[in-house]
Amino acid sequence: MALRYKIYTFQLRFQNHGRLNDFLGTTLHGGFGWALRKLTCITASMTDDCSLCSKKDQCPYYNLFDSSNQRDSYGAHRPHPMALRIESDLPEEAYSGRPIQFGVLLLGDHLRDVNFVISAFNELGRMGIGRQKVKFVLESVKYLPEMKEIFRDGFLSAEKLPLPDRLTPDLDTAESAFRIILLSPLRLMTKGNLMTKPDPGVFLAACNRRYQGLSRLYGEGLERELPKSWGEPELLEDNTEWVNQSRHSGRSGYQKLKFGGLKGDFVIGGLSPTAVFLINAGAILQVGKGTSLGMGLIKVEPVKIKSVVAY
């Protein structure tokens, strides 16, 4: 299943001091939604039920931000075609003059909505984020892997949108063991509970659901059927810990909400080429719950282990 995508790097600079959420993605995501709706909602109302709007299918806010309230053909919640890419080490407090960078992933036909995303973050900087309304200036937006600018100091600097990258099944690999580095909290459900210790089967199933679900909705059709065998996945090393965090939700009157996730890294081996492709797809698409907020961001590194059987 070919899936067109592009990853952008946003750089902003804070203009005043203020406390943010433990995980910056929850602050940025909520503010982005308000700013995007302010810019694109044709009803000029922040309280209407979007599902009742006759123009919702053409609305960037509804499709980029409110899509989880929609259902796909299988009855599941429709995954967002946009995800923030937020690393856990971004600051919990803002200071005037401090720059930060974060990523934005866009998928399929919604690659064309990048200008709306840029405009919304530009507007959010004027509105301010968090309870203390910390303001910022959006300095630049670049696209990966070329790191070319399309936005600088309030102006779009590219005449055309960049060509998309394409994620397609690649089963030509001899590697079968990988270190999974958790750049942001990983939240996976297993038997109705959040996974507090890495389970290779649960992790691979999450990568598969993410890839298949996004490809089905935003991809270009089946190019190559994935073999169903994942090999004999096993946990070879575990350097993770469960970390509890909290956030304040504007929708709940800034009530303090608890959430947590796995941090650290782990090594899994015994992987078939299909499993290798899925975890590499997970590094692009993110994995688990809260991906639209920036969670489930992983880095994948091959590991040479003699005891692992190559497929």
Residues whose CB falls within 8 Å of the CB of residue 145, separated by 6 or more in sequence, listed in order: none
First to last CA, the chain: 22
Q: Which of 37-51, 82-96, 173-187, 214-228 has the lowest mean pLDDT?
A: 37-51
With respect to residue 86, please indicate whether it lies within any of the assigned structural domains.
Answer: yes
With respect to residue 307, please indicate whether it lies within any of the assigned structural domains.
Answer: no
Structural domain tally of the chain?
Answer: 2
Cα–Cα distance measured from residue 264 to residue 269, given in angstroms and rounded to the nearest whole number? 17
Domain boundary among 165, 194, 221: 165
Higher-pLDDT residue of 183 and 248 is 183
What SS3 state is found at 39? helix
Query: Cβ(274)–Cβ(172) under 8 Å?
Result: no
Confidence check: pLDDT of 253 > 60: no
Percent of the chain's residues with pLDDT above 90: 59
| pTM of the predicted structure, to 2 decimals | 0.90
145 cis-preceded (ω within 30 degrees of 0): yes
- The secondary element (H helix, E strand) that includes residue 300 is strand 298-302
Domain boundary among 117, 141, 165: 165
Both 19 and 160 in one domain: the answer is: yes
Q: Is 71 exposed, middle or buried (0-12, 13-18, 19+ CB in 10 A)?
A: exposed
Residues whose CB falls within 8 Å of the CB of residue 102, separated by 6 or more in sequence, listed in order: 9, 10, 24, 25, 28, 84, 85, 86, 87, 90, 294
Cα–Cα distance measured from residue 19 to residue 132, given in angstroms and rounded to the nearest whole number? 7
What SS3 state is found at 100? strand
Both 46 and 11 in one domain: the answer is: yes
Query: Cβ(94)–Cβ(20) under 8 Å?
Result: yes
Domain extent for 269: 171-302
As given in the structure block, the two tokens for residue 48 are 């209407």
Confidence check: pLDDT of 71 > 80: no
**Beta strands 155-156 and 231-249: pairing type?**
unpaired
As given in the structure block, the two tokens for residue 207 are 């990568």
Q: What is the pLDDT of residues 106-124, one digit of tens each?
A: 999 999 999 999 999 999 9
Give residue 301's pLDDT: 96
Give residue 310's pLDDT: 40
Confidence check: pLDDT of 229 > 70: yes
CATH number for the domain harbouring residue 54: 3.30.70
What SS3 state is found at 252? helix
When mean pLDDT is compared over 50-64, 149-163, 236-250, 276-290, the highest value belongs to 276-290
Q: How far is CA 129 from CA 15, 18, 26, 100, 185, in A?
A: 11, 9, 10, 14, 21
Both 13 and 90 in one domain: the answer is: yes
Confidence check: pLDDT of 148 > 50: yes
Both 104 and 18 in one domain: the answer is: yes
Residue with tokens 């979007």: 50
Q: In whole angstroms, how large is the CA radius of gyration of the chain?
A: 20
DSSP 196: S
DSSP 78: P
DSSP 267: E
Both 198 and 267 in one domain: the answer is: yes
Give residue 196's pLDDT: 94
Query: Cβ(225)–Cβ(149) under 8 Å?
Result: no
Query: Cβ(88)–Cβ(80) under 8 Å?
Result: no
With respect to residue 310, please indicate whether it lies within any of the assigned structural domains.
Answer: no
* Mean pLDDT (the chain, rounded): 87
Domain boundary among 138, 165, 192: 165
Give residue 54's pLDDT: 80
Closest CA to 218 of 75, 101, 78: 78
Both 143 and 190 in one domain: the answer is: no
Residues whose CB falls within 8 Å of the CB of residue 259, separated by 6 or more in sequence, listed in order: 23, 185, 187, 244, 245, 246, 247, 290
Both 120 and 49 in one domain: the answer is: yes
Q: Is 289 exposed, middle or buried (0-12, 13-18, 19+ CB in 10 A)?
A: middle
CATH number for the domain harbouring residue 215: 3.30.70.1900
Give the pLDDT mean for 302-306.
Answer: 82
